[in-house]
C-alpha cells in the first residue's frame, strides 16, 4: 500500500493511492495515518479495503507529510562511507544519532525556508523508516517486524549551525521546514531497502546519485541499535543517512539560496519537489 495525507497544512486527511495512481479518502475509516493505524492490525485493516469503495480526494490536493503526529524524528549521521569522506569525517564505528525536531516536518512539495542569517543551508536525500510497533531492546533479526513502511526524506541541514556553533548537530537539523517527508508511506510488503536508487537535483542538475546499498549500517541494525537507547513508538521516523553529493562536499562548497528548486527521489518511494525561499 501507498498511504498518504492530503489537504491543507494542519488539516490533512488520511488516504491511499489506488491502482490508477489516484488518491482515495480514508477519513471515513481512520482519523489519520498515525499511531496505531501504522501497526500490523491497522495496516491489515486498510489492506482489506477495496480502494474503489472509497471516495476520491479532490483533484490536485496538496500532499502533507505522509505520517502524522510524529513523536521522535531520529536521524543517523555519516551512514555512507563516501559521504563521510566528502565531509572530511571518519566512518563511525557505531551509528551517529541526532534528533530532528518533529516541528520541522512538512509535506514533500512544501517550500523549504532558509533560516534567518543562514549562509550554509544544504540538502540530503535519505531513506526514512516509519515505525509501526512499540520497539524496545529489539533484536536485529526481528527488527523489521516493527516497521510500518518507508518514505523519502530530505534531511535539510544548516552546516554552520550544525558544525561551527558548538555542541550537538541538532541545532542545524531542526529548523522550520527542514524535514520534508513523503509523498507517501510505502508499506514493508512492497519495499526491499537493499538497493534503492537515491537522487537529488538542484535547479535541474543531478548532485546526488547513490544507492541504499552503500549504507554502512543497514536498516535492521539501526532499529535494533536505536531501540537500545530509547523506546520507539508507532509513527516515529528514523532517517538513515545520505549518499555523497551534498553542497558541503563540493569544491567550492555550494549552498541553497532563495529561488532554487530541489527534486528528491528514491526508487519506488516517490518524488519530492521543493522551492527554496527566505525564512
CATH code for the domain in which residue 271 is found: 3.90.850.10
Percent of the chain scoring above 70 in pLDDT: 100
Q: Is residue 13 domain-resident? A: yes
One domain, residues 126 and 209: yes
Q: In terms of C-beta density within 10 A (0-12 exposed, 13-18 middle, 19 or more buried), how is residue 252 classed?
A: exposed
One domain, residues 158 and 260: yes
Full domain range(s) for residue 21: 2-53
pTM exceeds 0.85 for this model:
yes
One domain, residues 41 and 160: no
**Tell me, what's the pLDDT at 249?**
93
Q: How many Cβ atoms sit within 10 Å of the Cβ of residue 38?
A: 27
Q: Is residue 160 domain-resident? A: yes
Percent of the chain scoring above 90 in pLDDT: 94
- Looking at the structure of the chain, the number of domains it has is 2
Q: In terms of C-beta density within 10 A (0-12 exposed, 13-18 middle, 19 or more buried), how is residue 262 classed?
A: buried
One domain, residues 162 and 38: no
Confidence of residue 150 (pLDDT cuts 50, 70, 90): very high
One domain, residues 24 and 111: no
44-64: pLDDT as tens digits = 999 999 999 999 999 999 999
**Tell me, what's the pLDDT at 86?**
79
One domain, residues 14 and 125: no
Confidence of residue 259 (pLDDT cuts 50, 70, 90): very high
One domain, residues 251 and 217: yes
For residue 168, pLDDT beyond 90: no
CA atoms of 144 and 168, how far apart (whole Å): 29
**Tell me, what's the pLDDT at 279?**
92
**Tell me, what's the pLDDT at 35?**
97
One domain, residues 115 and 227: yes
Average pLDDT, the chain: 96
One domain, residues 34 and 78: no
CA atoms of 247 and 208, how far apart (whole Å): 10
Confidence of residue 81 (pLDDT cuts 50, 70, 90): confident
One domain, residues 145 and 217: yes
Q: Is residue 241 domain-resident? A: yes
For residue 274, pLDDT beyond 80: yes
One domain, residues 210 and 253: yes
CA atoms of 27 and 12, how far apart (whole Å): 10
One domain, residues 47 and 78: no
Q: Which of 262, 22, 227 is nearest to 124 (CA)?
A: 262
**How distant, in Å, are the alpha carbons of 6, 15, 33, 53, 232 from that of 22?**
12, 10, 17, 13, 32
For residue 196, pLDDT beyond 80: yes
Q: Is residue 178 domain-resident? A: yes
Is 30 in a helix, a strand, or coil?
coil
CA atoms of 108 and 183, how far apart (whole Å): 5
Q: Is residue 22 domain-resident? A: yes
**Tell me, what's the pLDDT at 83?**
81
Amino acid at each position: 500500500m501507498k498511504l498518504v495525507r492530503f489537504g491543507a497544512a494542519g488539516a490533512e486527511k488520511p488516504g491511499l493511492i489506488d491502482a490508477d495512481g489516484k488518491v482515495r479518502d480514508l477519513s471515513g475509516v481512520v482519523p489519520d495515518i498515525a499511531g496505531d493505524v501504522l501497526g500490523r492490525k491497522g495496516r491489515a485493516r486498510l489492506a482489506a479495503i477495496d480502494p474503489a469503495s472509497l471516495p476520491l480526494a479532490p483533484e490536485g490536493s496538496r500532499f502533507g507529510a505522509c505520517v502524522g503526529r510524529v513523536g521522535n524524528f531520529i536521524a543517523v549521521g555519516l551512514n555512507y562511507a563516501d559521504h563521510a569522506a566528502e565531509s572530511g569525517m571518519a566512518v563511525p564505528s557505531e551509528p551517529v544519532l541526532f534528533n530532528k525536531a518533529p516541528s520541522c516536518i512538512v509535506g514533500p512539495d512544501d517550500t523549504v525556508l532558509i533560516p534567518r542569517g543562514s549562509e550554509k543551508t544544504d540538502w540530503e536525500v535519505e531513506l526514512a523508516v516509519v515505525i509501526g510497533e512499540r520497539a524496545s531492546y529489539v533484536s536485529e533479526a526481528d527488527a523489521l517486524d516493527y516497521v510500518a513502511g518507508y518514505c523519502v526524506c530530505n534531511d535539510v541541514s544548516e552546516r554552520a549551525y550544525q558544525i561551527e556553533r558548538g555542541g550537538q548537530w541538532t541545532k542545524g537539523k531542526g529548523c522550520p521546514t527542514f524535514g520534508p517527508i513523503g509523498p507517501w508511506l510505502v508499506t514493508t510488503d512492497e519495499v526491499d531497502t537493499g538497493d534503492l536508487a537515491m537522487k537529488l537535483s538542484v535547479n535541474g542538475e543531478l548532485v546526488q546519485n547513490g544507492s541504499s546499498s552503500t549504507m554502512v549500517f543497514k536498516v535492521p541494525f539501526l532499529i535494533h541499535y536505536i531501540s537500545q537507547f530509547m523506546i520507539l513508538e508507532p509513527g516515529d521516523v528514523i532517517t538513515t543517512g545520505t549518499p555523497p553529493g551534498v553542497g558541503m562536499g563540493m569544491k567550492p562548497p555550494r549552498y541553497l539560496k532563495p529561488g532554487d528548486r530541489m527534486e528528491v527521489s528514491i526508487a519506488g518511494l516517490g518524488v519530492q519537489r521543493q522551492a527554496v525561499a527566505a525564512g
